[in-house]
Structure formats: C-alpha cells, structure tokens
Amino acid sequence: MNFLNPIAFLFALTMPAVVLLYLLKKRRKSRLVSSTVLWQRYLADTQANSPFQKFRNHALMWLQLALLALAVGALARPFWRGSAAPSRLRVLVLDGSASMQSVDVRPSRFESARAQAREWINGLRDTEQAMILLAGAVTQVKQSPTRDKAALRRALDSCAASDSGTRLAEALQTAAAFTYEKKGEETRVSGEIHLFSDGASVDLGELANKNLPLIYHRVGGEGRNLGIVSMDVRADPEDPTRRLVLANVFNASASRELAQVELLFSNQVVEAKSVEILPTNSAAALFSLKQPGDGVLTVRLLAPDDLAVDNSASTYSFLPRPVSILLLTRGNRFLEKGLRAAPRSQVTVAAEWTGPTDAFDLTVLDRTTPATWPATSVLAIGVQPTNWFAAVVVEKSPPIVDWNHAHPVLRQVNLDNVDLAESQLVDPPPWGVSLAQSQQKALIVAGERERKRVIWVGFDPLQSNWPLRISFPIFLANAVEWLNPATQQTADLLLRVGEPIRHTSRQPVTEAVVTRPDGTSATVIAQRDGHEIFYGGTDRAGVYTVRAGTNVATFCVNLLNAPETQIASRTNLVIGRYAGVSSVSTSSAPSDQWRWWAVAALALLMFEWWFYHKRTA
C-alpha cells in the first residue's frame, strides 16, 4: 500500500494526547452528552486529588484512538497500484505472425504478448470498453467492443499465432476505423490502439498520414535465427534427367553460424551438406538429384534457433517432359532456331492453323493474328490484339530505357544494345507487368489472362538487331520455360502462407476434401459448375492435399519470407519516413483508498451510537 499524502501522519502525534487525558485526574462538571455509557466508569475514577492515576484499560480510549487512526489514514490518502485505463475504447491488436512463435521468450513471444494483454484487460474498469483483433494471415475481429471482461478473456484465449508473414498494416487500418468518430465536419480520436507485437520487420509506411493513437507494447528480444528464404527447382542443363535444387539460407543472428541442410524427396533424405553463413548474410545450398518420379522436394535446415517455421520449405516437382510448341509464322529462321534450341522443345511450324491447339503446350504467334485465339499459353510477337490493351500507339525507333531483371522471362537477358526500327507501345494492363519500357510505355508485357500465361512483344525482331544478340535465344528459352504448363502448374502448387488454394478439377465434382499438414481434414464445396475448388485456411506451413473425385493435387505452403526470418524485436516502430512509435512498458496507476478509511471511521461512530442505545433501551 502507498500514500498520496504521507505528511498527514503527523496528525498521529495527537494520539498520545488522548492517552494523556485518560491519565489525568481533574474535577469535571456534569454535562449532557449523546452517550454516557462508556463515560460512567471513567467519571468514577476522577474523585482523587492527584493529577495522574495508574493506567487502566478503557474501551472508550481504544475507540477514540481507532477513530483517530482511521481519520489520520484517510487524510494520508492510501491507495493500491493498478493498471491505468483511459475512459476511451481500447482496441487490442495481437500480432499473430510467424516471428511471434520465437521462443527467445518462454514459452513464446505470442504467449508473452497474450499474458500482457490479459493483465491489461484485468485492469480495465467495469465501465470501460475494449475489443480484440488478431493480426495473422488475415485480420480477424475476435471480440467486438464490450465491457464484459470474461468475454474479452475468452476471445484472447481463442487467439493463436499463424505461420504467415507480418501484416500489421492491415490490422492497424481496421483498428483505426474504431478509434475515430466524426461529428459534423470534425473528426476526433475516440479510442486507443494497443499493439502487442515484436515489431519484427514491420513496414508501416502506408500509415504515415493516419496519425494513429497507437501504443506499442513490445515483446521479445534479439533472438537467434536461421531460415530458408527462397527455393528453386530447375532441370540440370547438362543432364535433363537430373534436377537442381537451390535453397538460400539467411542468418539473422549476430554471429557466424554453421548449419546442416538436408534435401528430402517424398520424406526420404537424399543428400545433406554443411553451410557456413556470416552474420546478417545468406548462403546458397545447391543439390543435384536424379528424380525417380513426380513428388515433393523438401529442403530442411537443422539448426538450434528460436524460430522453427522457416527451417523447411517444400515444392512439388514434376519430371521434365518435352515441350510441344506451335509456331505460326510467315517465315522467321531466327525465331524458329531459337525455339528449337530451348531445352526439350518440339516445334511445329505452320503459316496457318485451322485445327485445335489443345494438343500443344504453347503457341507462338509471329506477326499473325489467328481466326480463333489459341486455348494454350501464348507468345505473341508483333500482334495487335483487340481486347488486351486500352490503347496501342506506334512509334519509330523507340529507345529501350529499362527492363525488369527480376522477372523469370528476362533472367540473364541484357537489352542494352538492342535497337528497334519500329514498335507498338502500350500502357501496362491490369493483368500483366511491363518487362521492357520505352519512356512511359511498355514494349514487352507478361501476365496471365483467363488462367493462361501470355507474353506480348510489341515489335518485330526482324526489324531490329535483337536476333544478332546473345540475349535473344536466352529470352526465348526463358519464355518457353515460363509459358510451359508444367512450370505454371508447379507455380500454382507452390503458395505462401495465407494464400488461398485454387484448384481446377477436370471432371465436375460437388465437393473436395482438403487434408492439412497436421492431418485434419476440411470439406470444400466446388464452384463454377463443379470445376473450381477454393480453400483459404492455409495459415500453417506444410503440404496440403486436395482430393476432388479421383483427382488428387498436392500444394506446398511455405513461409519463404526474408523479413519474417529477421526476428529481432524493435524498440521503435517506424511509420513512414519521419514518424514512429516507441514501445512502452506496463505501468501502475494509483487506486485511491482514502474513502474506505473514512467509511471505517464513520462505521466506528455508528457502532458507538448503536451500543449506547442498546445499553440504555
């Protein structure tokens, strides 16, 4: 217990004076008072002439001393320490991202954050409201605004951390909708946002101008972690029967680490090697294997760190198969030879094609617009589609000012010395991205339309020096690989945590069964006349199996998130370029108790009054 006004204890010096009055012997005159029951014994002892008498036990004296002590205590204003709580709506945002599963704080950062939030809820007053949001793979409203502490605690207990990346910006934007109210044309803050998080690798730049009433409760420390941040599977160019598996391992710790990396096929260890990684750097682990059939390839990291979810990554790998290509052209030897040079390609050349294109894996249109658009993936060169772009303009000698190095189609492709005589230029459409640009317009576009991949080249390579550059056959090889349905199918089966499963069934079905990595199952109703299966419960990393009739598909869901692997918690949250929020610790606020002391003193007076009337009745 503490006291707001401890100097009031000086009034306790009057207590010896009360005792002294009972030791003095003086002659007194009779006076009518409210109660004389407890005074009668004392008046009988005042007949002596000596000023003092021997101390005796007087009930009235003890009553007066207790009353005086309570009065002094009330003046000192005692209080208990409790949690401070403003009288506005509090929105509690609990971070449920993968980094919150780190065990540098026992039992985990998420459990520590939940314990802090529970203490904060227990400190709310009965008249105060709060709500709970869980920022996981998606933002969930676990409890709407309420004064019921039991409901808030139940909602808190139902929260669980997911394996997804950090998505706090979305959660804070949702919380902001509850913390502002508009009166007329004025908007004012009507609540507070309490974020319980480690703040690991959080990008809140989009909230720079929101002026959020944010209070950041930090959990966790520096942590020690290594994680797999990328994984790629390709055919070995020297031996098409073998597969190359490349895994990139990042060391988020402040010390050099030596880790064991294993490659598994269908849960069987194929190869293992040691990788040494410098602090805050990454290292590559390259494996080569002769794949016996279609199956799941898994890279597993054996390292004693604080976060386990990023220690493995999987992908479904198909055996390399020949790529059948239909080339519709009036004559282009450079293009034909470049396509034939692509690995495992089988090229059929025709000036026109009236039959079905389903028998081919992809179609290449060289300055030819077909009567019926192909049902396969398309590489369109010098073609002007009617409904792909909002507008198409033609420009003479357009310069190539930039190209997208990160896209798989332009991997190892350099367009620096490519000169064009003429080209069609378009604005990047919603369904695709620009691969090469001239000023503000796109020269090459790649994307997906109606579940088919498309690459559009706006110029004729024969009216340029590109076929004479080494980048031309490299571009064609990359394009064939990217447009290959097997590559697209592999990409469709590889998801990040939180991304929905989208599966197309060849035969119509009414429902499908999804088996999660933990062995539990969920039944999903088919869409689009029984040909589409959608499932959004991918909050855990691992292998998901979809059974739709006799069709079985395997989806691999991974974290593969470099920022999430950097688990060091932040003292400050950066919001935009200039703003930020510092973490706070839970503090105690005084709960004034002087009223109870005053009530106790009043109760003693009432007891004395009752005792008098009882004795005199």
Phi, psi of 309 (to 5 degrees): -65, -25
DSSP state letters, 380-392: EES---SSS-S-E
Helix (H) or strand (E) holding 281: none
- Cross-strand bridge partners of residue 582: 572
pLDDT at 285: 93
pLDDT at 48: 46
Cβ atoms of 288 and 246 within 8 Å: the answer is no
Q: Say how many C-beta atoms besides its own lie within 10 A of residue 17's C-beta.
A: 9
Interval 483-526: pLDDT, tens? 998 888 888 899 999 899 998 887 888 999 999 999 999 999 98
pLDDT at 160: 92
Report which of 166, 114, 112 is spatially closest to residue 565, judged by C-alpha positions. 166
pLDDT at 617: 55
pLDDT at 82: 56
Cβ atoms of 426 and 380 within 8 Å: the answer is no
Task: Please state whether beta strands 551-558 and 494-496 pair in parallel, antiparallel, or not at all (unpaired).
Answer: parallel
Phi, psi of 379 (to 5 degrees): -110, 105
Amino acid at 407: H
pLDDT at 184: 60
Length in residues, the chain: 617
- CATH number 2.60.40.650 is the correct assignment for the domain at 493-558: no
| CATH assignment of 89-223+570-586, among 3.30.590.20, 3.40.50.410, 3.40.50.300, 3.40.640.10 | 3.40.50.410
3-class SS string, 558-597: ECCCHHHHCCCCCCEEEECCCEEEEEECCCEEEEECHHHH
Positions in the chain short of pLDDT 70: 1, 3-4, 18-58, 60, 79-87, 182-187, 201-202, 240, 386, 576-580, 585-595, 597, 609-610, 612-613, 615-617
Interval 6-38: pLDDT, tens? 777 777 777 777 666 666 655 556 666 555 555
Residues 6 or more apart from 175 whose CB is under 8 A from it?
A: 91, 93, 133, 193, 212
| Residue extents of the structural domains in the chain | 2-79+598-616, 89-223+570-586, 226-320, 323-485, 493-558
CA-CA-CA-CA dihedral for 60, 66, 71, 77, to nearest 10: 180
Instruction: Examine domains 226-320 and 323-485 and report if their fold is the same.
Output: no
Its CATH class, for the domain covering 323-485, is alpha beta
**CA 378, 379, 384 angle in degrees (round to 5)?**
95
| CATH assignment of 226-320, among 1.10.150.240, 3.40.50.10740, 3.40.1410.10, 2.60.40.10 | 2.60.40.10
DSSP state letters, 14-75: GHHHHHHHHHB---------S--TTTHHHHTT---SSSB------HHHHHHHHHHHHHHHHH
